[in-house]
Homo-oligomer: A and B are copies of this chain.
Amino acid sequence: MTRLDTLAPAGREPATAAACCALAKTPVSVAESERLAPIFKALGDPVRLRLASLIAAAPEVCVCEISPLFELSSGTISHHLKTLREAGLVGSERRGTYVFYWIEPEVLGSLSALLAVDCC
């Protein structure tokens, strides 16, 4: 876990819009519920919620910085990161030896908008 700062982060591109207060305004359709539920489910585990939070708190984070914060095997951490990735909540990229993760703010934001109350 050394010399991480010598690896320059790549540029990320902006966002997509999201309906505001959608949960309360109009009942979500069956299709929407099946699309959104896995994203909430990905956040529905304490380990993954902390992982997402740690990743969101910095522009990007190396797995090697995250792992020591959990008393879990590297396989388990990798499995949880994969779940977050498949939910679209985070992106990842290998740069040399290390793998870096970043949050996808649009997805987070769309969930936030969905759950917002009295915003419009």
Enumerate chain A interface residues (CB-CB to B < 8 A): 23-28, 30, 33-34, 36-50, 52-54, 56-57, 103, 105, 108-109, 111-118
The answer to whether B44 touches A40 (Cβ under 8 A) is yes
Known contacts A111-B115, A115-B112, A115-B115: does B24 contact A49 (CB below 8 Å)?
Answer: no
A50 and B27 within 8 A (CB): yes
- Interface on chain A toward B: helix, strand, loop, or mixed SS? helix
Task: Please determine whether B43 and A44 come into contact, CB atoms closer than 8 angstroms.
Answer: yes
CB pair A37 B49 closer than 8 Å: yes
B33 contacts A49, CB within 8 Å? yes
Which chain B residues lie closer than 8 Å to A52 at the CB level? 23
A34→B109 CA distance, assembly (Å): 22
A119 to chain B, nearest CB (A): 8
